[in-house]
Structure 1
Amino acid sequence: MGMYIAISKNVGWGTSGGVFDCIIEATRKQFSGSQAGCMSEIYRPLDEQGQSFIALDEVDAHCFKLFYENCKLAMEKFPNSERGRFVPRDHLPGILWNWSEVLRLMTEDPRFLMVK
């Protein structure tokens, strides 16, 4: 089943369930306790509504940038993470490419530049 990251009203990234899971669950682990409100807002469709997506399209610039920073950090750590070590080595480039596309699309959103 395809999964989706809604980045803005008309922009998002669809991918396989496995790649989606790698990206969003590794990113989720980067959120600290003080960031739980933003995390909950972003992950609500998936966690509370049983949907096959997370939603960044309606969060404020602060939460948007927080997700970006945590997502980027998670991507950097992923190859050596517990989950990353279970991924076949020949699958890592594809996962990381998808991940980089999510980050690239996020940098094109006006909210990305609103918070330093």
Structure 2
Amino acid sequence: MDHIRSPAHYAHAPWFVVGPDETDILLILMAAFLVLIVFMFGVLMLRLHHLPEHIAHKGQKVQYQLVATLGLLAMFTHENLFWIVGLLLAMIDIPDFSGLLGRISNSVERISSRRASTS
């Protein structure tokens, strides 16, 4: 028995059914589409995962480091709570106390140098 079908068998087949020794274009297009969609989904997930770091990048260095550390913990432990805390921390504008504390320390140094010169 001959198992090879003649072209007459494919005359009433749908357009996507290919005959023997023909290239399945639909399979190739769908494989390329699937690879593209998986790649784009991965890029979207990485952008979403690093969203708190992008927000905190405009802020202070310490805040950015905390948010980046929480992002890494969220990625490696798969705990969404770390990501949520990092996002909330990135959205909060933490006041800069370094200028205030620097002025206080300069004032204390001036006061101590005045007292040392008068003694």
Structure with higher helix content: 2
Instruction: Verify same fold: TM over 0.5.
Output: no
Shorter chain as denominator, the TM-score bin is under 0.3
Q: What TM-score do the two structures reach when normalised by structure 2?
A: 0.27
Highest RCO, 1 vs 2 (Cα 8 Å, sep ≥ 6) = 1
Q: What TM-score do the two structures reach when normalised by structure 1?
A: 0.28
Structure with higher strand content: 1
